Amino acid sequence: MLVDGRGVRLVHIAVLTILLSSPFIQVASARTELAYDDGVADGRSGVGAGGYQAVLFTLPVGWLKARIIEARYYLTDKPAAFKVHIIGGDGVTELLTPPPEAAPTGVGWFDVDLTAYNLEVSGDFYVAIECEAHDSPGIGWDGSRPDGRSYYGFPGSWTLFGASPPPPAGDLMIRIVVEGAAAPIRVPSVPVGGVLAPANKLAILAPYLALIGLASEVAVAFIRRRR
């Protein structure tokens, strides 16, 4: 059997037909770090024992929900035990039960793995730290271009940084790593007599098309060896 470019094109068409036949495409999930600080500490922030500091996060546009992977805190000084809190967008509801306790021994970025909770969030949520000792640990504070998302106080009674200085406006260096997927994208119905692939869908399929090309070349090589 003579194998030419037509065999490759047939493989392409077959796979494209499968991909384009569904009315929806679900964008693959990926781990993403959400942050509002610029990574450089311009100062530090601390509260009394039992006090909270928190950052209000919003999922990226198009995300319906996300799974919490880990919370990240930039510690400037006085490393000490603290509790990690994920609080609902109402500013009151505790989503981690029981809240885990962390015990850092140094400064810099400190990560707390939260995968065991299998927690999913949607919309807005707070990532908070509850200090167990006075003014410890110190949390990095970024004073450049504040986003208006950093708070101190207690669940249900939050005060925005800069609302009544001190402290001044700024971004606490608290981050969150999430794993989520965008909302399914609806594909327009296929017209009679042809296949319609809108530009945005082709952009989504671009990485898959590269894999299709590789797979088809492997298939042709296999056929050649079978002859």
- CATH number of the domain that residue 140 is part of: 2.60.120
Q: What is the pLDDT of residue 204?
A: 43
Q: What is the pLDDT of residue 1?
A: 41
| Other beta carbons less than 10 A from residue 223's beta carbon | 12
Q: What is the pLDDT of residue 183?
A: 62
Structural domain containing residue 194: 5-26+185-226
- Examine the domain organization and report whether 67 and 37 are in the same domain: yes
Burial of 176 from C-beta contacts in 10 A (0-12 / 13-18 / 19+): buried
Residue where the block lists tokens 């495409």: 25
- Examine the domain organization and report whether 18 and 38 are in the same domain: no
d(CA 25, CA 183): 9
Q: Residue 107: which of 76, 139, 141 has the closest Cα? A: 76
pTM for the full predicted model: 0.71
DSSP state, residue 10: H
- Examine the domain organization and report whether 57 and 130 are in the same domain: yes
Number of domains in the chain: 2
- Examine the domain organization and report whether 205 and 110 are in the same domain: no
Q: What is the pLDDT of residue 164?
A: 82
d(CA 71, CA 172): 13
| Mean pLDDT of successive 10-residue stretches along the chain, which has 227 residues | 42 42 56 97 96 98 96 98 98 97 98 98 98 96 96 97 88 97 57 37 45 43 42
Q: What is the pLDDT of residue 9?
A: 41
Q: Are the C-beta atoms of residues 54 and 129 closer than 8 Å to each other?
A: yes
Q: What is the pLDDT of residue 167?
A: 85
**Max Cα-Cα span within the chain:** 81
- Examine the domain organization and report whether 47 and 130 are in the same domain: yes
Q: What is the pLDDT of residue 165?
A: 77
Q: What is the pLDDT of residue 95?
A: 98
- Examine the domain organization and report whether 189 and 143 are in the same domain: no
- Examine the domain organization and report whether 85 and 9 are in the same domain: no
- Examine the domain organization and report whether 58 and 167 are in the same domain: yes
Q: Residue 165: which of 140, 145, 143, 136 has the closest Cα? A: 143
